[in-house]
Structure 1
Amino acid sequence: MTERAPRIRVQRRPVHGVLLLDKPLGFSSNDALQKVKWLLRAEKAGHTGTLDPLASGVLPLCFGAATKFSQLQLDAPKTYEAMALLGVTTTTGDAEGEVLQRREVDPAQLTPERLAAVQAQFTGAIRQVPPMHSALKKDGKALYEYARAGVEVERPARDVEIYALNLALAQSEQAQPAIKIRVQCSKGTYIRTLGEDIGQALGCGAHLTFLRRVETGGIGVERCVTLAQLEAMTEEERLACVQPVQSLLAGHAVVTLNEQDAGRFLSGMRRRGPWPDAGAVAVYAEHPPALLGVAHARQGELIPDRLLSPLEIQQILQGPQGAPCGTEPPKTH
């Protein structure tokens, strides 16, 4: 009987920052996160919103202290490109499901005027019924678990916002009529449901055959790295792809505190100063330059909201290999 080779235990380390991943097809968001976490040998990680295995595109991954600010990306507007095949509906709203119904599609009926009317119908505030094949929970169980068991449960409609929508007539690879969709939307929008609803409004039904997230919270897919690229890199190159924690705070006002005020702020104390009212403030120490956390300013008071720990700050300053790694705050204008 041959002996098994001993398993090599990965030595984890503190990594703090954000890696912008172009998630590949076939991976769940958590699969992609765990793969990158393993490649970086990171101790703590989280993603910023689920992207279906059949979807690709922008998935910011947060490590260490950056996980404290992942909600900012969860709440951010997102932009998708999708293809909806007309005339065929499925159980899941995408190509993975079983066909429910097939209908003839007359391309002559898909005039620019009709597409424009449907586009207007689904722009602005709309209501969606979440799909059964989704991770939403009911009685502690994900909806897709009910769906797999053949059980359909009632789902209340939800309000979402479609900030911009563009529909264009296209053809699938099988030369069947399809609609190319580009949409910028609020969090909680289901693009599969949007595709189904557009197909219903056109009178022929539809399901998604392609879905790609091209932007989230101002982060475009052109800034992302693929899993294949990461796997081909050296460890140092991978770490160089990790952007600093404060890259999540691009829309925040900036306040820099002296050593005395920085210490007190970090212990949760409010500080007084000549700061205008602001709902989102990134707070830095002057020396050594380091991100302390986020706050809001009201009537001359800087009020802590989410703070880094002294250990996290020390680890960020040292860098993952123990080398100095500065976190110079953005310049105030």
Structure 2
Amino acid sequence: MNGILNILKPPGMTSHDVVSFVRRNLRTKKVGHTGTLDPGAAGVLPICIGKGTKIVEYLTEQGKEYICEVTFGNESDTCDKYGTFIYEEDKDYSHITKEMVNEKLELFKGRITQTPPIYSAIKINGQRAYDLARQGIEFEVPKREVTIYNIELLSFNLPKAQIKINCSKGTYVRSICRDLGNSLNCPAYMSFLLRTKTGPFDIDGSVILDDINLENIDNILYPINYGISMKELFIDDKFSDKVLNGNPIKLDGLSGYKDGEKVKAFIKPSTFIGVGHIKSNIFKIDKLMV
């Protein structure tokens, strides 16, 4: 059993909980997720099975899409509704308009620097930030650069606004909600989060946990190569022994590839064998999947 499941994670479960569920239901041990999704969040969570676990690193590198709800007037220590709220009474948010939110969202587009919440999985001197925060230890969370490919306002009805975000890996949507509030001189927190896409997997093609069983697995398991967003390279069968033994081979007709580019490789006509790279018209397999 090798491939990828596009799971619709329900709120209330951790990513590890979903992995444990898949292991039990499919009676297999080799299962891994492709990047954590907050327990309170819902949405797309690709789960790799069997040899599919070899491509986790490629899936985690891919872009994400989220729909979030930001609520103005208060903030919490976790930057979402599950933390401890800082103010006993909500602050005045009546000055905020739809036009103001749209104007401030423009500031978040492109390459930006953000500070993740203190309650996050980032490691500080070998320890998770959320563990240090729960112990009451004071520390500084390092800033990080992320890319916001697009951010747009979907709806606005004070004290709430719904926002759609396309971003790079490592982006904290909770931080965007907090920082948006700060830019409007009003505290804010993330009150809802739905991940609608990660890499090639979107919410329309996702499955709920109840659909995951041995009887149904062939209908819902994606092939390993589907999750890899790279150019394809088809290699003549006469080179198969060399390639499968890890030997580099010289190929013609590689003008359409950049020097050093990683590709997903197939033995003609359609046997996926793994991921490799091209350099000076020479192809070498890096990660064999067969």
TM range (shorter): over 0.9
- Map of 1:154-233 to 2, 5 A cutoff? 154-171=140-157, 177-230=159-212
List runs of 5+ in structure 2 lacking aligned partners. Answer: none
Deviation at 1:270, TM superposition (A): 0.4
For the Cα contact (< 8 Å) 2:225–2:272, is it kept in 1? yes
Query: What secondary structure does 1:90 align onto?
Result: coil
User: The residue matched to 1:100 in structure 2 has which SS?
Assistant: coil
Residues 1:280 and 2:248 are matched in the alignment = no
Q: What is the distance in 2 between the residues matched to 1:301 and 1:169?
A: 51
Contact 2:2 2:223 in 1 (8 A): yes
| In the alignment, structure 1 residue 261 sits paired with structure 2 residue 243 | no
Determine whether 1:246 maps to 2:215: no
Partner of 1:54: 40
SS where residue 198 of structure 1 aligns?
helix
Contact map agreement 1:128 1:158 (CA 8 A) in 2: yes
C-alpha displacement of 1:250: 4.5
Q: CA deviation at 1:31?
A: 0.7
CA contact (8 A) 1:275 1:301 kept: no
Give the match's secondary structure for 2:44.
Answer: strand
What count of residue pairs does the alignment treat as equivalent? 285
The Cα RMSD (Å) is: 1.7
CA 1:300–1:280: 2 relative to 1, 3 Å: same
Partner letter of residue 177 of structure 1? P
- Equivalent residue for 2:280, pick from 279, 290, 299: 299
Q: CA deviation at 1:245?
A: 1.0
Whether 2:43 is the aligned partner of 1:65: answer no
SS of 2:215's equivalent in the other structure is helix
How far residue 86 of structure 1 moved from its aligned partner, in angstroms, is: 0.5
Identity, in percent, stands at 31
SS in 2 for 1:20: strand
Q: Distance in 2 between matches of 1:257 and 1:284?
A: 9
1:11-50 paired onto structure 2 within 5 Å: 15-50=1-36
- TM-superposed CA distance for 1:129, in Å, is 1.0
C-alpha separation between the residues in 1 aligned to 2:93 and 2:9? 36
In 2 relative to 1, CA 243–218 (structure 1 residues): closer, same or farther, beyond 3 Å? closer
Q: Following TM superposition, by how much is the alpha carbon of 1:112 offset from its aligned partner in structure 2, in angstroms?
A: 3.2
1:93 equivalent in alignment to 2:75: no
Contact between 1:22 and 1:227, CA under 8 Å: does it hold in 2? yes
**TM-score, structure 1 length as denominator?**
0.81
Query: The residue matched to 2:118 in structure 1 has which SS?
Result: coil
Corresponding residue for residue 317 of structure 1 = none
How far, CA to CA, are the matches of 1:238 and 1:39 in structure 2?
A: 10
* Structure 1: stretches of 5+ with no match in the other structure: 1-14, 314-333
Following superposition, the deviation at residue 254 of structure 1 comes to 2.4
Counterpart for residue 325 of structure 1: none
Q: Distance in 2 between matches of 1:218 and 1:18?
A: 11
- Shift in CA distance, 203/132, structure 1 to aligned 2, threshold 3 Å: same
8 Å contact from structure 1 (residues 115, 168) kept in 2 = no
Secondary structure of 2:221's counterpart equals: coil
Q: Any conservation in 2 of the 1:284–1:290 contact (CA below 8 Å)?
A: yes
Rounded to whole Å, the distance in 2 between the matches of 1:299 and 1:169 is: 51
> TM-score, normalization: structure 2?
0.92
1:104 equivalent to 2:55? Answer: no
Structure 1 position 81 matched with structure 2 position 63: no
Given that 1:261 and 1:271 are in contact with CA atoms closer than 8 Å, whether structure 2 keeps it comes out as yes
Given residue 105 of structure 1, which amino acid in structure 2 is its aligned partner?
A: D
User: Structure 1, residues 201-251: CA drift from partner, whole Å, max 9, x if none?
Assistant: 111111111001001113210010011232xx5x22124311111111353
After superposition, the C-alpha distances for 1:43-90 in whole angstroms (9 at most, x for unaligned) are: 311111110101110111111211111112111110100111110111
CA distance in 2, matches of 1:183, 1:302: 37
C-alpha contact 1:257 1:283 (8 A) present in aligned 2: no
Bigger CA radius of gyration: 1
Q: 1-side partners of 2:68 and 2:36: how far apart? A: 17
The amino acid that maps onto 2:164 is R
Equivalent position to 1:270, from 223, 230, 248: 248
